[in-house]
Structures are given as structure tokens and as C-alpha cells.
């Protein structure tokens, strides 16, 4: 029997789709939702389930940015066989995405027992939500927002990509929140920082989903809930991406900061009063 029902999979898929790319922590929201539905947040099959349904959100990114991804892939392929084309930004950027993914993969594999064990606690989620909000608030105000996507460098890619480790180790910190904040600190404008966050997250999130699939199926989660959760994640994430890109082009991150702090404080309250268990 599946450890997660179809109905629960629908709810978790919607939560994943809404929050994966917003800087509010999809992992944190999934763990809170799982706790409210009495799903054990530290169960290996449940952890694997949440990683697998991320593939739906990743598929939404692939579709939404299909033209950009094809452009990068073509530039990379042409640069491989033609030395003269290797100075073009798109060719370099394709390599930067690969380079920036390696630290996250290394830490993810090395720290897997911690990530699935002590660091999966809702206490960690609550604290990370609030601490990450402080970083986002500071980055939005200290950043000069003067550099566009074409101005990015290998240094930018490595620092932004490496910042994903914070979200990997501390659920609640938010992968998109960490990467966007780092981009802003590097003086990228909000739209450039957001798009860079999308592109740099593709390999790591896709790899995590594929890697965890065996644990989800082998740990008691049936194929049907996995499929339902993934499809829901895809549909909702596509709409979320379109909304986010329009929002950041005209607004600061203040709304996200306030929301994160409110959720973090509420979670501390629910844990402190034993409404939720860590």
C-alpha cells in the first residue's frame, strides 16, 4: 500500500508547483503540509517522493524556457566543434551551468544522511525561513540592480549555483531564495537574478528527482501518487513561473520576506504548542 494517498499527492503537487520557484522554500512548505496531514517528514520514501515530484516543476521550466535552453544547447554544441565560437556568451554560459552544479551534487551526496535525518526537522525549517528572509531583505537593498543577464560571468554562476547548498542543508532557506539573493548581492537586477536561478537549478533538481525515484518506489509510495503529484506540480509550476517573472520585473522582494517571516513564526508556534511534531 502506498505511504501517500492520491488525495495527499494532489495537495503536495500543488504546494510543490506553487512554491518551487518562489523564494519561500518549497521543501519547507512541503514538510509543513506533510506534518499537517500526519505524513512522517523524515520517512525516506516521503523525502524521495518530494524530490521526485520536483521533476514536474522542472518540466515546467524546460517548457517555459524551451527557446533559451535550445539556444544554449546549440551554442554549446557548435562551440565544441568550432573553436571560434567558444568566446560567445551562450557557449560559456552552458559550461558555467555544468560547473556550478558540481558543488551541489558533491555536498548532496556527502551529506545525504544529515539531509534526510536531523536537518529534516521542522525546527530547522522554521529557523531557516526566518534567517533566509534576513538575507533576502539585505540583498534586495544592498544590491545595485545594474547588471543584466548578458553581463553574468563564471564567478556569478559559481557563487549563485553554490548558494543552493544552503537550501540543500537547511530546508526552509529556499533554493530560489538563496540563488536570487546571491544574484542581487552580485548587483544583478531582479529579473536577471531570477532567470539565473531558474537555469542553474535545472541540472541539480532534475538529477535529485531521478536519483530519488528508486527510493520512492521501493519505500512504499505507489506509482499512481507519484504520477499525480508530478503532473500537478508541472501544471501549477508553469503558472507560477509566468507570474514570478512578471512580478519581479516591477516589485521588490518585500512581500516574500514578510510572508517567510510570518510562516516561520507560525511554525515555531505550532511546534512549541505541539500542534505539529518536528
Joined grid coordinates for residue 137: 531583505
Distances (CA, A) of 239 to 95, 170, 246: 29, 27, 11
d(CA 196, CA 100) in angstroms, rounded, equals 11
CB 134 within 8 A of CB 141: no
Joined grid coordinates for residue 88: 560567445
pLDDT at residue number 44: 74
| CA angle, 254 then 255 then 261, to 5° | 90
pLDDT tens digit sequence for 237-276: 999 999 999 999 899 999 999 999 999 999 999 899 988 7
Runs of H (alpha helix) within the chain: 6-19, 26-36, 44-64, 66-81, 89-110, 112-116, 122-142, 154-162, 164-169, 175-185, 190-218, 223-248, 254-272
pLDDT tens digit sequence for 155-201: 999 999 999 999 889 988 888 999 999 999 999 999 999 999 999 98
Joined grid coordinates for residue 232: 500537478
Phi, psi of 147 (to 5 degrees): -110, 135
pTM equals 0.86
pLDDT at residue number 101: 92
- 544574484: which residue's cell? 183
Q: What is the largest CA-CA distance in the chain?
A: 64
Joined grid coordinates for residue 206: 532534475
3-state secondary structure (DSSP) of residue 131: helix
pLDDT at residue number 1: 39
Q: Is the pLDDT of residue 217 over 70?
A: no
CB 244 within 8 A of CB 186: no
Amino acid at each position: 500500500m502506498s505511504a501517500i494517498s492520491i488525495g495527499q499527492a494532489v495537495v503536495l503537487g500543488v504546494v510543490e508547483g506553487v512554491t518551487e520557484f518562489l523564494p519561500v522554500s518549497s521543501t519547507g512548505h512541503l514538510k509543513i503540509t506533510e506534518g499537517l496531514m500526519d505524513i512522517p517528514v523524515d520517512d525516506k520514501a516521503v523525502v524521495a517522493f518530494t524530490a521526485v515530484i520536483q521533476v514536474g516543476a522542472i518540466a515546467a521550466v524546460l517548457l517555459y524556457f524551451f527557446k533559451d535552453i535550445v539556444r544554449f544547447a546549440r551554442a554549446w554544441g557548435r562551440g565544441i566543434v568550432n573553436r571560434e565560437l567558444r568566446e560567445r556568451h551562450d557557449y560559456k554560459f552552458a559550461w558555467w551551468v555544468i560547473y556550478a552544479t558540481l558543488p551541489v551534487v558533491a555536498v548532496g551526496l556527502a551529506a545525504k544522511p544529515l539531509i534526510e535525518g536531523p536537518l529534516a526537522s521542522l525546527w530547522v525549517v522554521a529557523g531557516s525561513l526566518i534567517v533566509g528572509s534576513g538575507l533576502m531583505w539585505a540583498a534586495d537593498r544592498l544590491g545595485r540592480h545594474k547588471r543584466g543577464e548578458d553581463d553574468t560571468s563564471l564567478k556569478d554562476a559559481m557563487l549563485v549555483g553554490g548558494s543552493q547548498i544552503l537550501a540543500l542543508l537547511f530546508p526552509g532557506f529556499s533554493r530560489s531564495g538563496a540563488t536570487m539573493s546571491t544574484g542581487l548581492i552580485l548587483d544583478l537586477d531582479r529579473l536577471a537574478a531570477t532567470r539565473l536561478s531558474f537555469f542553474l537549478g535545472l541540472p541539480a533538481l532534475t538529477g535529485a528527482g531521478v536519483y530519488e525515484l528508486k527510493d520512492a518506489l521501493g519505500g512504499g509510495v505507489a506509482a499512481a501518487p507519484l504520477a499525480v503529484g508530478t503532473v500537478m506540480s508541472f501544471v501549477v509550476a508553469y503558472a507560477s513561473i509566468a507570474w514570478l517573472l512578471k512580478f519581479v520585473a516591477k516589485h521588490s522582494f518585500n512581500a516574500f520576506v514578510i510572508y517567510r517571516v510570518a510562516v516561520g513564526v507560525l511554525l515555531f508556534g505550532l511546534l512549541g504548542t505541539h500542534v505539529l511534531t518536528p
